[in-house]
Amino acid sequence: MTTAASTTSPARPLTGPQKALLKLGLRRDIDLALHLPLRYEDETRITRLSEARDGEVVQIEVMVTASEVTLRPRRQLLVTVDDGSDTCTLRFFSFYPSQQQALAPGKRIRARGELRGGFLGWQMLHPSFQAAGGELPQALTPVYPTSAGLPQAYLRRAVQNGLARAELADTIPTEDLKKIGPQPLWGLKSSLSFLHHPAPDVALATLEDRSHPAWQRLKAEELLAQQLSQLQARRARAGLLAPVLAPQPGPGAGLADRLQAALPFALTGAQRRVQAEIAGDLGRPVPMHRLLQGDVGAGKTVVAALAAALCIDAGRQCALMAPTEILAEQHFAKLVGWLEPLGVKTAWLTGSQKPKERRAMLALIASGEAALVVGTHAVIQDKVLFHQLALAIIDEQHRFGVAQRLALRAKLSAEAQEPHLLMMTATPIPRTLAMSYYADLDVSTLDELPPGRTAIVTKVVNESRRDEVVERIRGQLVAGRQIYWVCPLIEESEALDLSNATQTHAHLSAALPGVLVGLLHSRLTAPEKKAVMAQFTSGQMGVLVSTTVIEVGVDVPNASLMVIEHAERFGLSQLHQLRGRVGRGAAASACVLLYSTGDAPRLGETARERLKAMAETGDGFEIARRDLEIRGPGEFLGARQSGAALLRFADLATDSALLAWARQLAPELLDQHPTQAERHVARWLGAKSEYLKA
């Protein structure tokens, strides 16, 4: 295949613009063809100066009548031009001698720019220009997204060449295209040609909102590529072998049954259903790839423990990974409490471990003596060698970056047999996202909270009423309850974060004499954090002031009030997760969202929307839906840092019909026209398809 870079001989180093093209990911002809304009300029018409309007961007064809360089107020080239109907002054603050020559009196030029009327008549500042004459273009001129060192004119030529050379034969059967909708069908090639060079009479609004049939075609293509690649991944996995993790036959109950019998509570109906779904997967010789979603407090941990028990009972190892040390530690404590009495040995792995302890743990894992391994992402590091890993569980999977998720995949597939994978999240995935980015996953949902939970009343309170909040804390303490106070996240400055938390801690300690007020923040060492958490968990500590380190998974049922300071600075899912720390016991629980408008008279629009959503609903699915609306899928999926656009053309909010179409077509195409399907994925995703599976 011809590539943009290979048009020069390999011996010659790449020029600046060529490098810039590669940096933009414009490698193949098809990449260039799919690099669509940001907007268009109309160069198809010449406007007469006498008919122009102030502020209009126009193209004029004129004769230069005078040209001079003045030095005051600053050095500039002033060129007077005339088109027979009126005159205009072109003004340049920087110019080359060659440009000055091209603008000498007597030259005829075509200039384009914004026309400004004024006391001195028409003016244009730094217009683009060329020699007059020549044919006017028939189509609008594309303006492409570009980067430093890549001039628009160079990019236009490169795209034009790419478009001319790219192989653009349709990969989608016509009868399937007809199912897209009532609009007339456009081929891929004609859609692209049109979007790069639309006819001047096009309704620009249909290009801007991407409702034009050419846009519809491209969005449908893109969504189909995504569905196909996910389906390929799913089928590839179905061809892999995984260990069968079924209860052992023979006398006596299996480990999972014994664990269930030993629990201090009965499973909810939802937990039983989900457990059966997972057990079904684990009983098959094909790797499980399942997402367990359930609102904060729905009881995912015990479901994970039961899955681990099935795995361990089959004589294999299970690893559980959590995004933060505190959370991993809580899991560890809980799982050890449940499983060690049943004879299961558990290893603990984290980045902050002492080398000696770490070596001991690694040995336990390598020998297989530890049947269960719990930890942070330290679990997927190269040095960790499992004896026979058969099940990997990732808690709060969305909190792991894309790179870590890819590393996990690599690690898992390095095992002799493919392990089963269970991911858990408290941020439910809205339907359209589940259908697109997570089409490669089976999803189980815990849609029922354990009994006896009380609804959490959420109040949005202005910072000026802080004293009333402290009164309320006093009341809760008297009733024997505990309180979380979460301090703001200041992204740019960990130091500021800390000083704020320290101040709040001092203030509350003074306001609440005789009460143990603790402070938890990221600067503490792991043992210090552990000591603070232990005091809070045991009930000794009345109030825990904390930065967001407690965000996920911390479980203290006696805590009934959560105060979140500067709530306006938190994201919606984050607020919901934080709020989920209370309402876990029988006592009525509340969450106070303290906000401050700073120097502004009122809160910003999105902050207001977030706090409103929090006050209006406690339903994690509704929160997730609104969060997606506010943030868009890139950030929602945690892919923002990677800089890679997930879907470039389609928008899940508006294109759900196209998504449904693509979802239905993908399996048909893969079965009936496999080579076309391959071509389609290669064309659209190229090297990116791995990324989409992360």
Count of residues in contact with ligand ADP, rule CB under 6 A: 18
Question: 450 is in the binding site of which of ligand ADP, Mg ion, none (Cβ under 5 to 8 A by kind)?
Answer: ligand ADP
The kind and range of the H/E element at 29 are helix 29-33
| Residue 271 near residue 224 (C-beta atoms within 8 A) | no
Q: What is the distance between the alpha carbons of residues 682 and 30, in angstroms, rounded to a whole number?
A: 10
With respect to ligand ADP, which residue has the nearer C-beta, 26 or 554? 554
Residue nearest to ligand ADP (CB): 299
Q: Which two tokens stand for residue 141?
A: 């001129």
Q: What is the distance between the alpha carbons of residues 445 and 293, in angstroms, rounded to a whole number?
A: 5
With respect to Mg ion, which residue has the nearer C-beta, 142 or 553? 553
Q: What is the distance between the alpha carbons of residues 679 and 406, in angstroms, rounded to a whole number?
A: 25
C-alpha pair distances (Å), 96 with each of 79, 100, 101, 148? 14, 6, 9, 20
Q: What is the distance between the alpha carbons of residues 667 and 228, in angstroms, rounded to a whole number?
A: 7
With respect to Mg ion, which residue has the nearer C-beta, 326 or 670? 326
Site of interaction with Mg ion (CB under 5 A)? 553
Output the smallest distance, CB 307 to ligand ADP, in A. 13
With respect to Mg ion, which residue has the nearer C-beta, 17 or 553? 553
With respect to ligand ADP, which residue has the nearer C-beta, 302 or 541? 302
With respect to ligand ADP, which residue has the nearer C-beta, 198 or 553? 553
Output the smallest distance, CB 581 to ligand ADP, in A. 9
| Residue 56 near residue 47 (C-beta atoms within 8 A) | yes
Query: Among 193, 227, 271, 397, which residue sits at the site for ligand ADP (rule: CB under 6 A)?
Result: 271
Q: Determine the Cα angle at 322 with ends 581 and 247, to 5°.
A: 105
Site for ligand ADP in 429-458 (CB under 6 A): 450
Residues 6 or more apart from 523 whose CB is under 8 A from it?
494, 498
> Which residue stretch of 157-165, 293-301, 355-363, 598-606 sits at the interface with ligand ADP (rule: CB under 6 A)?
293-301
Q: SS3 sequence, 490-536?
A: CCCCHHHHHHHHHHHHHHHHHHCCCCCEEEECCCCCHHHHHHHHHHH
Output the smallest distance, CB 330 to Mg ion, in A. 8
Output the smallest distance, CB 396 to ligand ADP, in A. 9
> Tokens 């990019």 label which residue?
155
Q: Of 367, 401, 410, whose CA–CA distance to 386 is shortest? A: 367
Instruction: Give the up-direction half-sphere exposure of residue 2: CA atoms within 13 A in the CB hemisphere.
Output: 14
Question: 297 is in the binding site of which of Mg ion, ligand ADP, none (Cβ under 5 to 8 A by kind)?
Answer: ligand ADP
Output the smallest distance, CB 429 to ligand ADP, in A. 15
Which is it for strands 389-394 and 420-425: parallel, antiparallel or unpaired? parallel
Q: What is the distance between the alpha carbons of residues 280 and 245, in angstroms, rounded to a whole number?
A: 9
With respect to ligand ADP, which residue has the nearer C-beta, 271 or 324? 271
| Residue 583 near residue 449 (C-beta atoms within 8 A) | no
Site for ligand ADP in 500-539 (CB under 6 A): none
Question: 296 is in the binding site of which of Mg ion, ligand ADP, none (Cβ under 5 to 8 A by kind)?
Answer: ligand ADP
Residues 6 or more apart from 101 whose CB is under 8 A from it?
none
Range 320-357 burial, b when 16+ CB lie within 10 A, else e: bbbbbbbbbbbbbbbbbebbeeeebebbbbbeebeeee
Query: Among 297, 430, 633, 638, which residue sits at the site for ligand ADP (rule: CB under 6 A)?
Result: 297
Residue 560 as a binder of ligand ADP (CB under 6 A): the answer is no
Query: Among 142, 198, 254, 294, which residue sits at the site for ligand ADP (rule: CB under 6 A)?
Result: 294
> Which residue stretch of 167-175, 217-225, 236-244, 289-297 sits at the interface with ligand ADP (rule: CB under 6 A)?
289-297
Q: What is the distance between the alpha carbons of residues 498 and 31, in angstroms, rounded to a whole number?
A: 47
| Residue 158 near residue 144 (C-beta atoms within 8 A) | no
Question: 573 is in the binding site of which of Mg ion, ligand ADP, none (Cβ under 5 to 8 A by kind)?
Answer: none
Output the smallest distance, CB 351 to ligand ADP, in A. 22
Q: Exposed, middle or buried by CB within 10 Å (0-12, 13-18, 19+), for 251?
A: exposed
Query: Among 220, 296, 517, 578, which residue sits at the site for ligand ADP (rule: CB under 6 A)?
Result: 296
Amino acid (1-letter code) at residue 466: R
Query: Among 494, 555, 635, 651, which residue sits at the site for ligand ADP (rule: CB under 6 A)?
Result: 555
Site for ligand ADP in 566-605 (CB under 6 A): 584
With respect to ligand ADP, which residue has the nearer C-beta, 541 or 559? 559
Residues 6 or more apart from 617 whose CB is under 8 A from it?
623
Residues 6 or more apart from 102 whose CB is under 8 A from it?
109, 129, 131
Q: DSSP letters along 85-108, please? A: S-EEEEEESS--HHHHHHTSTT-E
Query: Among 180, 242, 291, 298, which residue sits at the site for ligand ADP (rule: CB under 6 A)?
Result: 298
Output the smallest distance, CB 617 to ligand ADP, in A. 17
Question: 298 is in the binding site of which of Mg ion, ligand ADP, none (Cβ under 5 to 8 A by kind)?
Answer: ligand ADP
> Which residue stretch of 199-207, 296-304, 309-317, 454-462 sits at the interface with ligand ADP (rule: CB under 6 A)?
296-304
Output the smallest distance, CB 534 to ligand ADP, in A. 17
Site for ligand ADP in 300-359 (CB under 6 A): 300-302
Output the smallest distance, CB 423 to ligand ADP, in A. 13
Peptide bond into 10 cis (omega under 30): no
Site string (129-158) toward ligand ADP, x via CB under 6 A: ------------------------------
Q: Which two tokens stand for residue 589?
A: 């629980």
> Three-state DSSP class for 423?
strand
> Which residue stretch of 15-23, 157-165, 298-306, 340-348 sits at the interface with ligand ADP (rule: CB under 6 A)?
298-306
With respect to Mg ion, which residue has the nearer C-beta, 198 or 553? 553
Output the smallest distance, CB 280 to Mg ion, in A. 23
Question: 488 is in the binding site of which of Mg ion, ligand ADP, none (Cβ under 5 to 8 A by kind)?
Answer: none
Site for ligand ADP in 231-270 (CB under 6 A): 265, 267-268
Question: 299 is in the binding site of which of ligand ADP, Mg ion, none (Cβ under 5 to 8 A by kind)?
Answer: ligand ADP
Query: Among 37, 142, 299, 323, which residue sits at the site for ligand ADP (rule: CB under 6 A)?
Result: 299
Q: Of 495, 614, 473, 553, whose CA–CA distance to 298 is shortest? A: 553
Contacts with ligand ADP by CB under 6 A lie at 265, 267-268, 271, 294, 296-302, 426, 450, 553, 555, 557, 584
